Structure formats: structure tokens, C-alpha cells
Chains A and B, each alone.
Chain A
Amino acid sequence: MVELIVDGHRMTVPPGQQLLAACLAEGIYIPHLCHLEEAPRPAAACRLCFVEIAGVPAPQPACTIRVASALKVRTDTPAVRRLQRMALRLLLSAHHIDCRRCHANRACALQSIARFLKVGLHPKPLMAIARPDEVDRHHPFIDHYPRRCVLCGRCVRTCRNGNDHPQFSFTGRGIDTVVRHYASNLALDKRCSECRRCVAACPVGALQWRREGAGASESVD
């Protein structure tokens, strides 16, 4: 077992344990969006889970750290918060803020992280980036809202873990990247109708089950 000291809180974890998962299990909250418990490798895409480790010059994303030896970690230094707030502002600048009409309202990770980091939902100095406005209905059962998507990749990776070959994937490149489904086929669609894990995995309500799943409480408008 390895000893960890996080914000003065002492704990022991098995060696090789992911630092972010260890902290979350102990009830120490570190903002995170793309973290996926069962994923073999961290995506480190959201750039939110930064921590400062004694002896390491720059803050590190906690999801990429495997605890090998005793560590002294701080999760709330000014350097960490500065990075997290900037990352969140950049995410919000590409996220269409219309919480009242979004089915993820109040269950949205962006809302809770913004509250935690004390960042307004409208990131003032940054220019808003508008992704395509239309609802993407390429998938036979699942609607995708590109303007809400934060490109964390949880849906893609959840599907890859569960079904081997993701039914959603990143398409395009750079600022034009969007998550999309392409060309349905019957065998795979049948699996989708039973699985739905990607919808549950989305932290921001960019995916929504189209059929009977959209009950009164989660309908769009």
C-alpha cells in the first residue's frame, strides 16, 4: 500500500491506483468531465482535474497519475484553480447555454463544476463558438445536440468499452470536430436499443434517447 496526503488528508491506496479515482473514492472532489472509471487509459481531454504534487514543478491532470510511491498532493492551489477556470471557460465558450430548455438542467456537470469553481456560465472575455444548430438525428434512436457537446469523448469510449466498436465517433478535425453516428446497420442498432450507456455517460445532455425514453421531465421543450 502507498500513502497519500491530499490536502492534509492522509490515506492509503493500492499501488498503481489512479490518483483521481483515489481522491474521488475518499470524498475529495476534483472537477472532472472526461473521467471514465472503467476505461483502460485516461483520455485527459477535459483538462479540469489538475492537482499540484509536491516535488513536481507544474500542476498535473490527476487522471494521468498512477500512484507508485508516497505523494503529497494539493487540489486547491491558485495555479490549479487558474488552469481549471480557464479550461472551464473555454469549454463554456463552445457550449450553447440554454439551461432552461435542456433536459440535463440541474444534472449537468458543467453547471456543478462552474458553481464549484465560481465561474459564470457566460465566459465574458471569450468569444462564443457556435457549432451547428440543428439536432443531429443520424442515429436511429439517439439525438445528438452538437451545440451542447463538450467533446469529452465519454460516449465514444463507453461504447468502445461495451460494444468494441463505437457507434459514435469523433468526425472532422480541429475546431470542426463533432461527435457523430454514421451509417446504421441492423445488428449494431439492435444493441443500441438495449444498451443506452452512452446517453447515461454524457455529462452535459448532448445525447438524448429519442423514443419513449423522452418522458415529460426530460423532454426538450
Chain B
Amino acid sequence: MLMEMGLDREEIAALATIRSELKEIPAQRRYLIPLLQRVQQALSYLPQAAIQLVAQHLHLSPSEVYGVATFYNQFRFTPPGRHPVRVCMGTACHVKGGDIILEHFERKLEIKEGETTPDREFSIERVACVGCCALAPVALMGDALHGHMMTGKVEGLILRVQIEKEKARREMGDRDER
């Protein structure tokens, strides 16, 4: 059933661990946010199954838990991509057209900010200042920082990841054949 909800094997295991930890946490409302933080730490997002688990443990309705979680910026409801794209929207990057870069990523990846591509390869987030305003506008692809962003560079960055993925796939294939 959990598989049907779009969770992979690791996530199901992590959820089982949390389920066993729950016994030690009293069913009091004040543990709601710490619990959600624990879940997000383990799964890096809050899937529906996890929200239901937390709601059940604290005797709340899933709607209540979701309402609290959506209030805070630190919680996310879609899994982060393997290559999270973070586009800076700080003052300097804003002035240098950071929103155009963000829009370009959104268009190329066909997802909106806060979403993840169906293959979980990319996700897009907006961040406030990465601390290198001299390089504005700035975008991060994973941990790699890319300064002086231009719309033309967006496609290149995405393509590079895709090519590397394809290369790895073919090498794997070659090895299997031999």
C-alpha cells in the first residue's frame, strides 16, 4: 500500500523506524512540530503516509497536521530532486533578474517552484541570498554554485546533468553486457 503512495523502499524503511520511535513520544499536541521535523529529517519531505502516521499518533486529524505543516517554510511536501535547483531571489539577484532565471528553469523542467520532476531528478526552490551577491544572479545546482546566470546557461546546466546520467547508464549497460 505504501508503494502505491509513491514511496520508495528506503522511505518505507525510514517510516517504519519512525513508527517504532513513536512509542516513546507522548501523544501530546506540543510534540507535533518536533515530530514533523523528525520525519522530514529522515525522509527529507513529508509524504501523506507520514502525515497520517503523525496524526494518528497524536490523535489529530490529518487536515490539522497538514494545516500546521503548511504554515512553516521548513516543511516540504514533495521529495527533493537528486539535483535540487536553488535560484537566489535576494536583493542583488532580484535586481539582476533572478526571477527570469527562475522562470527559465521552471519552463525548461516543466515544473513550478517547489515542485519535483516526475523522475525525481530535479526540483526547483527559491532561496534568499546565498552570500555572493557580486556574482548575481546566482543559482545552485546541487552544491555547485553558478554565478552570472543567463537564460542560455540554464539549458546547459540541465543538459550536463542529463548527459552524465546517460553516460553512467551506458557504462552500467556495458558492464552488464560483458
Contacts and interface: CB of A to CB of B under 8 A. Distances in A.
A172 interface: yes
B97 interface: no
A117 B54 CA distance: 46
Nearest to B65: A182
A193 to B, nearest CB: 15
Nearest to B69: A171
B: interface residue count bin: 10 to 19
A166 B59 CA distance: 12
A182 B66 contact: yes
B117 interface: no
Contact of B62 (A170, A172, A173, A185): A185
Contacts of B52: 183, 185
A18 interface: no
* Chain A interface extent, by class: 10 to 19
B60 interface: yes
Contacts of B71: 171-173
A72 interface: no
A165 B67 contact: no
A216 B31 CA distance: 47
Contacts of B70: 171-173
Interface string B149-177: 00000000000000000000000000000
B80 to A, nearest CB: 20
Contact of B61 (A165, A171, A172, A173): A165
Contacts, number: 47
B67 A183 contact: no
B126 to A, nearest CB: 14
B48 interface: yes
A165 B61 CA distance: 6
Nearest to A178: B70
A38 B61 CA distance: 21
B64 interface: yes
Contacts of B59: 165
Nearest to B58: A165
Interface in A194-210: none
Contact of A166 (B48, B51, B63): B63
Interface in A167-221: 167-173, 180-185, 188
A151 to B, nearest CB: 13
Interface string A135-172: 00000000000000000000000000000011111111
Interface in B30-73: 48, 51-52, 55, 59-67, 70-71
Interface centre among A173, A180, A183, A188 (most CB of B within 10 A): A183
A202 to B, nearest CB: 16
Given A183-B62, A188-B61, A169 B48 contact: no
A184 B55 CA distance: 11
Contacts of A166: 61, 63-64
B67 A171 contact: yes
8 contacts: A167-B63, A169-B66, A172-B71, A173-B71, A183-B51, A183-B55, A183-B63, A188-B61
Interface of A: 165-173, 180-185, 188
Interface of B: 48, 51-52, 55, 59-67, 70-71
Q: Can you list the 6 inter-chain pairs with the closest CB atoms, starting with the nearest?
A: A169-B67, A183-B62, A182-B66, A165-B61, A171-B70, A169-B63
